[in-house]
Amino acid sequence: MARLKVILKYVAALGATALFVFPLAWMFLTSVKPRVDVFAKPPVFIFTPTFDNYSRVLDSEFMLQLLNSAIIAGISTAFSLTLGALAAYGFSRYGRFKRVDNLLFWILSLRMLPPIAVVVPFYILLRWAHLFDTRFALIMIYSIFNISFAVWLLKGFFDEIPPQLEESAMLEGHSPPVVFLRVALPMVRAGLATTAAFCLIQSLNEFLLALLLTDVDAVTAPVGLANFQRYFGLEWGQFAAAATIFVVPIILFTVLVRHHLVRGMSFGRMG
C-alpha cells in the first residue's frame, strides 16, 4: 500500500515535470533540427542533430546583445539590491509611521507602471540627455522596477530578523551602520539571493523598453531574439538556439542559489 503510494507520487511528479519541461525540450529539439524539419507534420522526433544553429548564433551579433543584457541586468541588479537593501532596512526599522507607509506604497506602485505609460517620456528624456541607446539608460530604468521589487521583498526579510540581534550588537558598541552591515545584512543572504534572482530574470527578459530605447549599441538579448524574425518568418532554429543560450546561464544561476531560493522565499522563517 505504502509502496503503491510512493509509485503514484513518482508518476504524478514525473507527469507534472514533463508538462513543464516539454515545451522547453521542444525548444531545444528545434534548435538542433535541420531547418526544413522544424515545421514538419507529423512532428519529427528523430533526426540527425545539427549544431549549425548554435555556431551561427555564436558568430552573430546576438552574442554582443547577450553581453549587453548581462551587463545591464547585472549592474541594475547590483545597484537595485544595494539601494533596495538600504531602503528596505530603513522601512523595516524606522517605518512605523503612516506617512512612511504611503511612501512604501508609492514605491510599489512604481512597479505597477505599464512600460507603455513611460516609454514615450523616457524616449524624449533620453534623447534630450543624449542617453538614448546606452546601457546606462536601461540600467537606470530597470532599476526603477528592480528597486521597487527589492524594497518590498527585502523588507519582509528584515522584518523577520529577531530584534535582539541588533540590540545586542548596538549594546556592544557597534554603530547602526555596522549593525546593518555586519548583523542584519548577513542574516538576509537568502533574501538577497532570491531578490537578485528575480531582478535578474526580470531585467534580462524585459522587451518593450529595450526595443524602443535602443537601436544599435545597447540592444539587449530579447530584442535580438525578436530580430530573428526575418522576412520569411522567424528563424526558428537560430531563435531556439539563441533562446537556449540565453536561458542556460539563468538556469545555472538558479541551480547555484536554489537552496537560498527556497529558503529565501520563506522569509527566513525556517526552524
- Residues between 45 and 74 with contacts to other proteins, criterion CB under 8 A: none
The answer to whether residue 160 forms part of the interface with other proteins (CB under 8 A) is yes
Smallest gap from Cβ 57 to other proteins, in A, equals 13
The answer to whether residue 98 forms part of the interface with other proteins (CB under 8 A) is no
Q: With contact defined as beta carbons under 8 Å apart, do 249 and 159 qualify?
A: no
CA dist., res. 205 & res. 207, Å (int): 6
The answer to whether residue 11 forms part of the interface with other proteins (CB under 8 A) is no
The answer to whether residue 233 forms part of the interface with other proteins (CB under 8 A) is yes
Smallest gap from Cβ 46 to other proteins, in A, equals 14
The answer to whether residue 1 forms part of the interface with other proteins (CB under 8 A) is no
CA dist., res. 124 & res. 132, Å (int): 9
For residue 151, what are the CA distances in angstroms to 103, 124, 135? Answer: 11, 28, 23
Q: With contact defined as beta carbons under 8 Å apart, do 191 and 156 qualify?
A: yes
Size of the residue set binding other proteins (CB under 8 A):
142
Smallest gap from Cβ 36 to other proteins, in A, equals 6
String marking each residue 109-148 x if it binds other proteins according to CB under 8 A: xxxxxxxxxxxxxxxxx-x-xxxxxx-xx-xxx-xx--xx
Q: Phi and psi (nearest 5°) for 96?
A: -105, 25
Smallest gap from Cβ 4 to other proteins, in A, equals 14
Q: Phi and psi (nearest 5°) for 227?
A: -75, -5
The answer to whether residue 252 forms part of the interface with other proteins (CB under 8 A) is no
The answer to whether residue 155 forms part of the interface with other proteins (CB under 8 A) is no
Smallest gap from Cβ 156 to other proteins, in A, equals 8
Smallest gap from Cβ 265 to other proteins, in A, equals 3
Sign of CA dihedral 129, 117, 103, 267: negative
Q: With contact defined as beta carbons under 8 Å apart, do 228 and 49 qualify?
A: no
Query: From the list 3, 98, 99, 269, which residue makes contact with other proteins (rule: CB under 8 A)?
Result: 269
Query: From the list 93, 192, 196, 209, which residue makes contact with other proteins (rule: CB under 8 A)?
Result: 93
**Look-up of cell digits 534572482:** 197
Burial of 11 (0-12, 13-18, 19+ CB in 10 A): exposed
